[in-house]
Amino acid sequence: MRPEEERERLRQEELKRNVAGNTFNDAQHGLNDLTGSVSTKMMGMGIVFLLLLILAGWLIFGH
End-to-end CA distance of the chain: 52
* 10-32: average pLDDT: 67
Report the percent of the chain where pLDDT is more than 70: 67
* 36 in Cβ contact with 4 (< 8 Å): yes
Distance CA 38, CA 46 (A): 10
Q: What is the reported pLDDT for 55? A: 96
- Note the pTM of the prediction, 2 decimals: 0.44
Burial 48-63 (b: 16+ CB within 10 A, else e): eeeeeeeeeeeeeeee
Q: What is the reported pLDDT for 12? A: 84
What pLDDT, in 10s, does the model give residues 33-57?
666 667 778 888 999 999 999 999 9
Report the percent of the chain where pLDDT is more than 90: 25
